[in-house]
C-alpha cells in the first residue's frame, strides 16, 4: 500500500510558476504520474516518470512548460510548472504504479491539490 500526499498548489498569475510535491510513504520501485481535473471535465494525464531510468512522459499541452522529477531518497516527486496558463487551472493528483496516460492503470492516488491560474 502506498500513501500519497500532494502539496504546493495555490493561486498564481498567468505566466507564473508553481512546484507541486508528492510525498509518498514509499516510492520504492513505483513509477508515478500526475493527472489533473478541471470542473466539469474528465481527469486528464499530465506527466509520468519511470522508476527505472527516470524516463519522463508529458501531455502535449504541458510539454516544454512542466518538468517532472523524483527524489527516491526522500520518496518525493516534484512537478515544476512554468509559464502557467488559465487552462492549467485544475485539481492536480499524483498517482503511483504506472507510467501510462490511463488513470485506471494507477492503483494509488493522492487527495489532490488545487492550482488556480488567474488571467
Question: In this predicted structure, what is the pLDDT of residue 34?
Answer: 98
Taking a C-beta distance cutoff of 8 angstroms, is the pair 20, 81 a contact?
yes
pLDDT of residue 27: 63
Tens digit of each residue's pLDDT (9 = 90 or more) over 53-108:
889 999 999 999 999 999 888 889 999 999 999 999 999 999 999 999 999 999 99
pLDDT digits (tens, 9 = 90+) for 6-51: 999 999 999 999 999 999 887 667 899 999 999 999 999 999 999 8
Between CA 43 and CA 29 the distance in angstroms is 25
Q: What is the pLDDT of residue 30?
A: 86
Q: Residue 47 and residue 60: Cα distance in Å, rounded?
A: 10
Q: Looking at residue 47, what is its pLDDT? A: 98
Amino acid at each position: 500500500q502506498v500513501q500519497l500526499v500532494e502539496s504546493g498548489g495555490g493561486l498564481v498569475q498567468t505566466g507564473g510558476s508553481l512546484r507541486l510535491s508528492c510525498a509518498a510513504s514509499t516510492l520504492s520501485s513505483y513509477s508515478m504520474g500526475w493527472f489533473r481535473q478541471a470542473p466539469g471535465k474528465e481527469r486528464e494525464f499530465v506527466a509520468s516518470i519511470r522508476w527505472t531510468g527516470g524516463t519522463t512522459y508529458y501531455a502535449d499541452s504541458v510539454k516544454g512548460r512542466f518538468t517532472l522529477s523524483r527524489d527516491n531518497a526522500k520518496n518525493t516527486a516534484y512537478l515544476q510548472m512554468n509559464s502557467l496558463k488559465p487552462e492549467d487551472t485544475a485539481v492536480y493528483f499524483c498517482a503511483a504504479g504506472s507510467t501510462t496516460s490511463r488513470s485506471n492503470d494507477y492503483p494509488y492516488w493522492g487527495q489532490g491539490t488545487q492550482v488556480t491560474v488567474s488571467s
